[in-house]
Amino acid sequence: MFRYSVPIKNIMGTPTGRSIATLPKSFKSLIYSKHDVDNCSEVLSVKEYVPKENLKESIVLRTLAFPINPSDINQLQGVYPSIPEKTLDFSTDEPAAVAGNEGLFEVIHVPTKASDKFKVGDWVIPLKSNQGTWTDYKAITNPSDLIKVNGLDLLSAATVSVNGCTAYQLVNNYIKWDSTGSNNEWIIQNAGTSGVSKLVTQIAKARGIKTLSVIRDRDNFDEVAQELENKYGATKVISETMNNDKTFGKQDLPKILGPNGTIKLALNSVGGKSSSSIARKLEKNALMLTYGGMSKQPVSLPTSLYIFKGLTSKGYWITENTKKNPSEKVETVEGFIKLYQEGHIETPNLSRDFNHIEWDVSNDKDILEKVKEGINAKGKKQIVLLKWK
Amino acid sequence: MFRYSVPIKNIMGTPTGRSIATLPKSFKSLIYSKHDVDNCSEVLSVKEYVPKENLKESIVLRTLAFPINPSDINQLQGVYPSIPEKTLDFSTDEPAAVAGNEGLFEVIHVPTKASDKFKVGDWVIPLKSNQGTWTDYKAITNPSDLIKVNGLDLLSAATVSVNGCTAYQLVNNYIKWDSTGSNNEWIIQNAGTSGVSKLVTQIAKARGIKTLSVIRDRDNFDEVAQELENKYGATKVISETMNNDKTFGKQDLPKILGPNGTIKLALNSVGGKSSSSIARKLEKNALMLTYGGMSKQPVSLPTSLYIFKGLTSKGYWITENTKKNPSEKVETVEGFIKLYQEGHIETPNLSRDFNHIEWDVSNDKDILEKVKEGINAKGKKQIVLLKWK
């Protein structure tokens, strides 16, 4: 049924330099003009329109894949602090914007002025958020708005901008790690089964940094823990019950860390009790970075950790980091690709790691309904894969 | 009854250079060997002993005053993370330490080797914590362990090491303030009536930084608010009810701050709801420093403040700062004295701001009981004033 009969890991960007014969006359995008916090999928519609850009003079892209991220949904709900400007570029009566902040694109046309930077067949992602990725085609006038991602598999490339870059920067940009990897330095993180956490684990391992991953209690705890340890390289996986148990912290934790083991960084995407329990395990003058709040509980930290243990608690947001420092995002993607090509990053598995939605470009009358279902679905990450003839 | 018949503000260190005739044969100190979290005053005893130091070769000090700080009490309880080493220097069977971390001393003897740095009559404080200040005399062998505080009144000098330096560093060491004072920059702080908060208010005002002080709701709110505004220079005082009210934050706060007003620093010594409410009022990428936790509630901050508003939450502890950077402590005291002499700091009032205990050195058989009472008393800060013939 689906075109990916070869393993996803073997599908990669292959710049050919050959332009496709004809450029599209119109683009088709999932757009919105309003927000609805309770029924956000209802604000979406499909719109076909003639792009405002001169395509001959633009880098023209066709879309290969885009994930449905929580931030995309929060934008539709109107509760996300970063949103695109709405315009009349899409032949609508009311100003509208194309949904989506992340996606993987293939270059299908390069104007002469950009031919030193991009080739037809290159795989690219937008540098910044708010560019509108839930679309079949895109036209880019400024080459600096794109980052090349040749060398990644399709699923890694389609998710590198948020999860990949988040994990890479969390590990690399805040702590001055012992560069020899021989100092028994640790990261502790909660939500240890999340996409970002698995990437953190692998990126840390490549640098010789150990990871203590906390996961929720579950019936198949041993199975999940073993997968995280054996497949992704987590040094040790513990449950939230262990994380919250003070006796565990005093008696078992030192044995896990071993001689001179210190936890220098805590990565929190849960909040509540889980966040205070990982913070308590940090060494003196350490850092906790909060990049998510799945429990919807605040980050609650004892005064004594701040005053007597010198804890610093900060937030992390890839969107804001990229706004402040776009070139760092480019370096981050390059660093991620390098790790991937050196074999440090596990290739995602479409059926294990994602629920996928097919956008058959030649027969797409049901795409709006499919994406709406994807927005409202629970469980694994939703990804839309575009099927081109 | 009490020797301070002249106003405290007129009593200051006056280096005379004249050594007193005879050095003491013995010292008398309040010491402890054990800790008791429930009845910490019971671990104290008075001990007279021959000092181990060669007094002729030491800087010899007599004590003028020492406050009873929460950290002193927590040390006796055994719950403070910084404690002095216990020794056999005090003619005890078990190792013991002199209580107290802060105090004001008068130099009564200077050895030749230190005569370029200190003169008899100088007022001095210990550079570091854990030196044992609940004593009648002290002998110091290393001149670098003392900071001169001539130029302050007795009460300011006796409390500059903790409250004065804390307030000075909180205001000055973390934010790059607009040096012209014309940028409408604010500090928000809770516990606005505390000793540190009043000093923060005055130090900030001297720099052109505005302060929004939150105080607990009380029957005489207007009276207290007016005193903080008129006497100490708080720009605006609000109640905890206002602080916690979201409508107040949206509608009233912008009017209080005025055009382009931004809150760049939050100072938290309360925790709990009060801390999250002051943090919410900060501008983007701002800082909250926690230096106390009077509510005994954790510092609880919404995930969104961390991720989307770029909040950094850190602790502040003068003891640790001084360990890391002793010269900064000296500069801080000098900076504080300068502000005081320029008239920016209100002189404390003994009866309004303190409960005082008299230690009559010539008749001191009841001093242990008096200090125990001071430890167990509630309300205003306790200070022990030594009466010398």
Query: What is the Cα A265 distance to its own chain's centre?
Result: 20
Q: According to the model, what pLDDT value does residue B12 have?
A: 64
Mean pLDDT over A337-359 rounds to 95
Spatial strand order of the sheet with B45-49 comes to B45-49, B27-32, B97-98
Task: Answer yes or no: do A298 and B293 touch at CB < 8 A.
Answer: no
Mean pLDDT over A209-238 rounds to 98
- A8-153+347-387 maps to which CATH number? 3.90.180.10
- Determine what percent of chain A is predicted with pLDDT higher than 90: 91
Tell me how far apart the alpha carbons of residues B266 and B273 are, in angstroms, rounded to a whole number.
14
Dihedral in degrees, nearest 10, Cα atoms B48, B49, B54, B60? -20
pLDDT tens for residues B208-238? 999 999 999 999 999 999 999 999 999 999 9
Helix-strand-coil split of chain A, %, nearest 5: 35, 25, 40
**Confidence band, pLDDT 50/70/90 cuts, at residue B16:** low
Is the pLDDT at A106 greater than 90, yes or no?
A: yes
Q: According to the model, what pLDDT value does residue A379 have?
A: 85
Three-point CA angle A153, A158, A160, nearest 5°? 90
Tell me how far apart the alpha carbons of residues B14 and B304 are, in angstroms, rounded to a whole number.
55
Q: Both tokens of residue A149?
A: 């991602």
3-state DSSP assignment of residue A134: coil
**Confidence band, pLDDT 50/70/90 cuts, at residue A154:** very high
Is the pLDDT at A5 greater than 50, yes or no?
A: no
Q: According to the model, what pLDDT value does residue A383 have?
A: 97
Q: According to the model, what pLDDT value does residue B20 have?
A: 61
CA distances A27 to A381, A388, B164, Å, are 26, 14, 66
**Confidence band, pLDDT 50/70/90 cuts, at residue B22:** confident
Q: Are B47 and B28 in contact (CB under 8 A)?
A: yes
The crossing angle, in degrees rounded to 10, of helices A195-206 and A165-172 is 50
Task: Answer yes or no: do B314 and A312 touch at CB < 8 A.
Answer: yes
- Determine what percent of chain B is predicted with pLDDT higher than 70: 94
pLDDT tens for residues B29-58? 999 999 999 999 999 999 999 999 999 999
Is the pLDDT at B4 greater than 50, yes or no?
A: no
Mean pLDDT is lowest, of A317-321, B17-21, B288-292, B311-315, for B17-21
Q: Are B280 and B305 in contact (CB under 8 A)?
A: yes
- Determine what percent of chain A is predicted with pLDDT higher than 70: 94
- Interface mutation target, options B79, B307, B316, B321, chain A, most CBs of A under 10 Å: B307
Mean pLDDT over A99-127 rounds to 96
Fold (topology level) of A166-319: Rossmann fold (3.40.50)
pLDDT tens for residues A238-290? 999 999 999 999 999 999 999 999 999 999 999 999 999 999 999 999 999 99
**Contact with chain A for residue B276, Cβ under 8 A:** yes
Q: ipTM score here? A: 0.92
**Contact with chain B for residue A271, Cβ under 8 A:** yes
Strand partners, A30: A46
**Contact with chain A for residue B291, Cβ under 8 A:** yes
**Confidence band, pLDDT 50/70/90 cuts, at residue A3:** very low
Q: According to the model, what pLDDT value does residue A180 have?
A: 82
**Contact with chain A for residue B315, Cβ under 8 A:** yes
Query: Which residues, other chains included, contact B243 with Cβ-Cβ below 8 Å and sequence gap of 6+?
Result: B190, B214, B274, B277, B278
Tell me how far apart the alpha carbons of residues B296 and A303 are, in angstroms, rounded to a whole number.
8
- What's the one-letter identity of residue B221? F
Is residue A80 annotated as a catalytic residue, yes or no?
yes
Q: What residue spans define the domains of chain A?
A: 8-153+347-387, 166-319
Model pTM score = 0.93
**Confidence band, pLDDT 50/70/90 cuts, at residue A21:** low
Task: Answer yes or no: do B308 and A81 touch at CB < 8 A.
Answer: yes
Tell me how far apart the alpha carbons of residues A31 and A51 are, in angstroms, rounded to a whole number.
14
Q: Are B342 and B206 in contact (CB under 8 A)?
A: yes
CA A88 to chain B, closest CA, distance in angstroms equals 28
Task: Answer yes or no: do B303 and A300 touch at CB < 8 A.
Answer: no
Among A85, A89, A70, which Cα is nearest to A29's? Answer: A89
For B:49-108, CB contacts with A below 8 A are 81-82
